[in-house]
Structure 1
Amino acid sequence: MKLPAAIALLLLSTWACLADEYRFDRKADWDGWTFPRGAVVQNEDGSIGLGRINRSIDAVTAARDFRHVIKSSKDPVPGGIRVVGSGAESADNIIDGRKDTWWQPPQDHVIEDWFIEVDLGRMVLATKIRLTFPDTLDARPFRSFSLYTNDGLRASAARDVFQYSRAGRASEPNEERVVEYDLQTIWPGGATGEHLVTGDTLDHAMVQYVRFVAEGQNPGAALAEIEVVGIGDNAALGSLERGGGVRGGTDLNNLSTLIDGDKNTSWSLSGPNDWVLEGHWFEIDLGATYWIDRAFMHVSRSRSFFGSFEIATSDGTQAAGVTTDRVRGNFDFQQLTRVDNIASPLRRVFDFRFPLRKTRYIFYHRLNFTRIAGAQGGTHNPFYTLTEFMLFGDGYVAGAQMESNFIDLGGTKSIRTLSWDAELPPETFVEIRSQTGDTFLFEEKYYNKNGVEISQAQWNKLPKSQKQDIVEIQRRGPDWSGWSQAYDVPGEVFLSPTPRRFVQLQVRLGNDNPAVAPLLRSISLHFDDALVSGGVTSRILPRQTGFDSLQTFSFVLKPVFRSGDHGFDRVLIRTPAPAATTQVKVAGDTVAPLAVAMAGDTLRIDLAERVQSDSVEVVFDARIQANATAFEAWVSLSGSGVMQGARPAEQHAATVFVPSVALAGALIRSVDVTSQVTPNGDGVNDVASIRFALAKVESAVPEVTIHDLSGRTMRVVAAGADGYGWDGRDDAGRLLPPGVYLCRIAVAADVGERSVRRIINLMY
């Protein structure tokens, strides 16, 4: 519900100085909000910004931020130093990002212990590894060494044993402080598709572990830094923590492994039938919208027949209309690629590079074989296993949403305005919405010790050691309003129903340029004690009327007062057309109002006395052209700046229906066009009046045109203050010759364009 501009201006101009405020502007204030982790950044100064993903990263820097499963621990472990043979006390120095600290194995330790391994915490696509050595009196570069990598795949499914491949070796005694080794992947394949890199050699390799091994001892040998240069941050990692996830149609327990950064886990599909029936699809929700320009997919196993597939992306925009898609989310998806992978040799490593696009959802599905029949013949029964789906880009997050907890105002309050302070560079935005309510529903959830949800009866039977504590979930009650539209400007009149005790806020931050991001510094709610703490309900009679007919309505406001309420002396009713008040009653008695006026689309009645215990009835005449017209109302206390909305006494209690509009009939009705115009300046019929009403059409702009009898358009008539009128002239302002002309009234509707025509005789 949005207040009319005239009311909003009135409220702001009489804003009381003394009011309560609920404010978010310190770091601790935001702790009760839910954030998509990493996509929204909570700064130390209390401001809120957007995270970002980058190209060409050092994957070692954030190794400790990632945790993964290993066989030797029941809990996930972070990345970092995996193992060191000697000099453990200085091992962390090679991943601290500093060149003036180093790992230096003791000279008296055997050469077999001069090794160290780095765990990146997740699998990355690395383009090179850079070794930096110190060069001081006491610390010198290693002269002889080898460098090995592993993609995280265990050599034994039951143990943390890994097979390494040599990535580089000092071919002669090394004296350099910086040594780099480029990485690559060689994988031939005949696949083709939009944005697919089709060469046999890719400029990166999958890496999780890096092992440095000295092959000879030299005095002061030390290593300052290992850098693993990755192609970028993988936006798919952390999707679950951001509130996203993966849906799919088969192998449901392993869907999340597609985005876990672990090459030991995988998602499999098999079966020759229709891809929808077989469930050969998945949809990734990143939990926030990112600027993405690269995707990578790895298939670890496949039969001789792989098949083809499609990938599409969406920024989260809802699809227009009703979708017939049975499995894909109801979002506006754009195809990214259609890959043909039936030619031998089959490709199992897919690298896609494309222009930056806003991406939150990614939809993958196998193509049906009938679309590729004849390529190989025989019965096709594919089986393949996807180990990882990775996404890369550059820039600030394109869009992320955060929500507050339920804000308790300490009692029923009349919320007046919502303000915020934000830095908004060009091409950035902050959208804030609100919802209000008074009641909650509480739901209890029961889990066994493994976190599996069970029934209350099952939970009661388990011993205490085999179950978790009951989890109570607080949900909004039926009186909650739902999210408002976005606020336009700081200090705007509060858009959700009020008075209420509880408020919830939703904030969306984003951009249309990955190089810039908004910064939200604070949000404030301004509120007062409610005028009527028990609320005000509304009802209108009659609830049914004819189309565009003048009808007398009775609109009743029934307040529920409590001790200490201020009451009100002003009533405001939004009407679909100008209304004429015929009577005002308080407690059933007719009273004389101080003033009655239309302010924009709102009827305002100022009462002579403050109402503190009785109902108010307003009787007025109005015309209605749209079916299911809802009448919104507010009460106010003059001079206070406090305004309180009314709620319908029950569903549709303040709604008027026009059955003739709902059932059938013309879109353009009540057409009245002056049949003769004589523009001679005598004030009589100088302008032809063109009047009509539109039914069943929302937000449509009619087009009124004048034509000669051959059909040529002579004039496009613009609406004036009094509606439409024609003065006998063409678009150039020239007086047209006397004769017969056609007036055409047209409107575009969902069912197509509808029009009516009337004859106008031009005489002078």
Structure 2
Amino acid sequence: IMTLDLGARFWINYFRMVGGISGVDEMVVRISDGSRDSNGSLKWREMYRQTGSAPNSTPWSGVSLGTSESGFERLEQVRYLNSQIYTSQAGRAGGYNTGDRIREVQLFGEGYPSEVTLISPMIELPGSVILGRIEWEADLPDSERVDVQIRTRTGDRLVEIVEYYCNGGDLKTETDYNNLPTSFKGPVVNRLQPGGGWSSWSQRYTRSGQIVTSPSPRRFLQIQARLLSTSPDVAASLRSIAVEFLPPVAHRTVAEIWPNTVEPREMSEFALYLKPTFVEHQPGGPPSRRFDEILLDAEPIETLAIADVALGREEDLDRGQPRRLFSASSADVLIDAATGDSLKIFSTDTGTGLRLLLPEKVALQAAGDDTRTYYRVVTEEGEQVPVDGDGRILNELTYLGLPPEEQGDILYFALRGRDADGNPIAEAVEEFAYHSLADSLQGEIRYFRRLVGKGGEFPFDQQGNPLTQAAYNALPRSQQGSIAAAGELVRVRFHASVLLNGTTVDAAIRDSAFPDTYQQVDPGDATALTPGTALSISVPLSNRVVQGVAIAPNPFTPNGDGTNDQAHIRFALGNLNAERTIQVRIFDLAGHSVWSERRQGFGEQVFTWDGRGDDGQLVPPGAYLCKIDADVDAASASHTSKTHLIGVAY
């Protein structure tokens, strides 16, 4: 079996194999354009079959076809070529001379490649940076037939792969390579590839200038560019790619919202908590700039009404005594009564969110081991840490879910008393000794993950204990990583009406002095004051689509006097997360259509009728039927149509 990867996808219409091809055995040639089936295997198509039509020939008889060649009916897109040889002679199967000696494969085609994938080396980033915009310059001579797709991924660790080759190009193990005579040894190749914890390739960026969506800050960045063409006559060309590096405003910020379950369409009060940590020190890099702007986007919620914004330590907020409290003064300004400082509120360009501008940057909490996190740089491959790839402490279940090569040590601890501050004193013991202890003397069981690759930093010593300032200072300088400081807890209270189950309040932060890029906030456990850990809001599930219909004024008087001249038809579409066709129609009591309006939308809706028919003339006074229809294709949906009476008077 021979499989060739051409490295790109070409337009091919002829192939030739040159060598000692006997014609005794059957040979099948297949091609693949690189597409794969549901199991991840390449999809192949047979393009040529040699039937073994020279029965009197043998590979050693001197009778040989020499070459096998064939043309295709049309140009084919080919990335992989596979040839497989079969024999019907039982005595030859598996024999030393079975099969043909192929010395050369020749492929012929025309035009430009139909796909070329370019992948950058691992780009080491300059310290802790946020990835801003990604921009590129490309030529697309025909956008209907050619395309450029750009993707990114990021990570912290690399694995060094060492490959040993003999002088014939075959890959050898290190042991086999070392046993070869010197004249038989080929090159030794060192390659770097992503280690554990790398993100997947991002979704393609649809236009130059978009913000990089791969996680940051990270230590390494990799860029993928795919140049595609559906015709051999044209091709895209890529001239340059540039990525913007920005200093991060925070090391990381997590947020949660409470309550996370409310009744649909009821005005509810929510508290959004943001817990930032800032880089106070990092080797070779600047500290975090910190932030004074918060962006909230809660689509499809149409209106967020901010009640107040508080900043301080968690215990201060719990006592109702935050360091700063900004209360509502107007729709777009909150005032700190103690200082007179104002917090300004701006609508976003999308119309579905708010931008909060604080009068000062969020502050760091006072220094202490409980407000500082000290990181140790991993310098050796195979070191172990007590957390998973997302930084969560391992337990038995998550440990067993690790790949076997990442399952590290398990440490058992016995309780030996308490120190002067009342904290338990633990001592590492063997597993058998641990299980022999009384339950009251059994301490924690600590699970470790073996790291794949070098790089990254973790807030633990080699025994899995959280680093203290003293332990950090005792590390070799090469292992002293960043120091992260806890920022003040931020609480934003607001009122909103939620209609869609799973509505998420997205949050981002930035330094107003650098307005180009926001840093995304991650959902997580931001405070012990509430049990939430997410930014999504649930409402009880219902199949009702058209909800909460209200018509006002009803009746109305479209006589042009400026009072009650229009009827506002308000309703909401529930359990839809994409736009649907909505139609409001007015009928007279005889069933004749008088007026209609159609639009795309979801969530809260308002239609306005001025009492005129579709012909532009005022309708006669009387009672009319207002019918609301939503075009929903879900079979389980109900109440997709509502009808109400509406009165017209003069």
Return the offset for 1:351.
8.2
Q: 1:761 aligns with which of 633, 646, 649?
A: 646
Match of 1:598 in 2: 347
Cα offsets for 1:702-751 (capped at 9, x unmatched): 31231535666544314599732222334343434444223122132343
Q: Which residue of 2 aligns with 1:518?
A: 236
Corresponding residue number in structure 2 for 1:580: 305
> Could you report, residue by residue, the CA deviation over 1:157-191 in whole angstroms, capped at 9, with x for unpaired residues?
79xxxxxxxxxxxxxxxxxxxxxxxxxxxxxxxxx
CA-CA distance at 1:521 after TM superposition: 0.3
Q: Distance in 2 between matches of 1:710 and 1:494?
A: 59
User: Aligned partners of 2:534, 2:523: CA distance in 1, in Å?
Assistant: 5
Tell whether 2:48 aligns with 1:297: yes
In structure 1, how many angstroms separate the alpha carbons of the residues matched to 2:543 and 2:36? 48
Q: Which residue of 2 aligns with 1:420?
A: 136
Q: CA deviation at 1:568?
A: 1.5
Alignment of 1:325-474 (within 5 A): 353=73, 395-427=111-143, 428-437=146-155, 439-440=156-157, 465=179, 474=193
Distance between the aligned counterparts of 1:606 and 1:248, measured in 2?
A: 49
In the alignment, which residue of structure 1 is the partner of 2:536? 656
- Identify the residue that residue 635 of structure 2 maps to in structure 1: 751
Q: Note if contact 1:296-1:390 (Cα within 8 Å) is conserved in structure 2.
A: no
Question: How many Å separate the matches in 2 of 1:235 and 1:487?
Answer: 34
Contact 1:739–1:763 (8 Å) recurs in 2: yes
Name structure 2 gaps, 5 residues minimum.
Answer: 54-68, 82-98, 282-286, 313-321, 327-335, 337-341, 365-486, 527-531
1:274-311: CA deviations, max 9, x gaps?
Answer: xxxxxxxx8229xxxxxxxxx84335269xxxxxxxxx
Native 8 Å contact 1:673 1:688 kept in 2: yes
Report the Cα distance in structure 1 between the residues aligned to 2:643 and 2:38, rounded to whole angstroms. 59
* 1-structure distance, mates of 2:591, 2:108: 58
1:570 — aligned with what?
Answer: 293
Matched, 1:665 2:570: no
**By how many angstroms is 1:595 displaced?**
0.7
Is structure 2 residue 226 aligned with structure 1 residue 544? no
Structure 2 matches for 1:70-85, cutoff 5 A? none
In the alignment, the residues of structure 1 paired with residue 10 and residue 170 of structure 2 have an alpha-carbon distance, to the nearest angstrom, of: 34
| Alignment match of 1:608 (pick from 356, 359, 363) | 359
3-state SS of paired residue (2:292)? strand
Following the alignment from structure 1 to structure 2, what is the Cα–Cα distance between the partners of residues 489 and 503? Answer: 19
Cα distance in 2 between the residues matched to 1:453 and 1:658 = 56
- Contact 1:717–1:726 (CA under 8 A) maintained in structure 2: no
> Relative to structure 1, is the Cα distance of residues 283 and 409 closer, same or farther in structure 2, using a 3 angstrom cutoff?
same
Aligned to 1:622: 496
Q: Which of residues 586, 608, 624 is equivalent to 1:740?
A: 624
The question of whether the paired residues in 1 share the 8 Å contact of 2:6 and 2:80 is answered with no
Distance 1:513 1:733 in 2: 53
Provide the rounded CA distance (Å) in 2 between the counterparts of 1:711 and 1:447: 85
Q: 1:669 to 1:409 in 2, by over 3 A?
A: same
Q: Structure 1, unaligned stretches of length 5 or more?
A: 1-35, 40-50, 60-121, 125-150, 159-205, 207-233, 250-254, 256-281, 286-294, 303-348, 363-384
Corresponding letter in the other structure for 1:658: S
- Which of 596, 609, 631 pairs up with 1:716? 596
Report deviation, 1:412.
1.2
Residues 756 and 423 of structure 1, relative CA distance in 2, 3 Å threshold = same
Report Cα offsets for 1:629-655 as digits up to 9, x if no partner. Answer: 332222211222353222222698332
AA paired with 2:290?
A: G
- Distance across 2 between alignment mates of 1:470 and 1:750: 57
TM-fit CA distance, 1:421:
1.0
- Deviation string, structure 1 residues 384-414 (Cα, Å, up to 9, x no partner): x9x9x99997643444443334322132102
1:209-248 aligned at under 5 Å gives the runs: 236=31, 244=34
Match in the other structure for 1:632: 506
How big is the shift at 1:471? 9.0
Is the counterpart of residue 284 in structure 1 residue 44 in structure 2? yes
Structure 1 length-normalised TM: 0.48
Residue identity over aligned pairs, in percent, reads 27
Structure 1 contact 417–492 (Cα < 8 Å) conserved: yes
Give the partner amino acid of 2:276.
Answer: P
Contact 1:442-1:473 within 8 A present in 2 as well? yes
Partner of 1:410, secondary structure, is: coil
Question: What is the DSSP-based 3-state SS (H/G/I as helix, E as strand, rest coil) of the residue aligned with 1:543?
Answer: coil
Distance in 1 (CA, whole Å) between partners of 2:500 and 2:235 is 42
Residues 11, 232 of structure 2: 8 Å contact kept: no
Aligned residues: 431
Distance between the aligned counterparts of 1:751 and 1:473, measured in 2?
A: 52
Match of 1:73 in 2: none
Q: Show CA shifts across 1:577-599 (max 9, x none).
A: 22111111121331434311221
The AA in structure 2 aligned to 1:570 is E
After TM superposition, the structure 1 stretch with the greater mean CA deviation from structure 2, 751-760 or 580-589, is 751-760
| Root mean square deviation of aligned Cα | 4.9
Alpha-carbon distance between aligned partners in 2 of 1:447 and 1:655, rounded to the nearest angstrom: 50
CA contact (8 A) 2:347 2:354 kept: yes
Q: Find the residue that maps to 2:43 and give its secondary structure.
A: strand
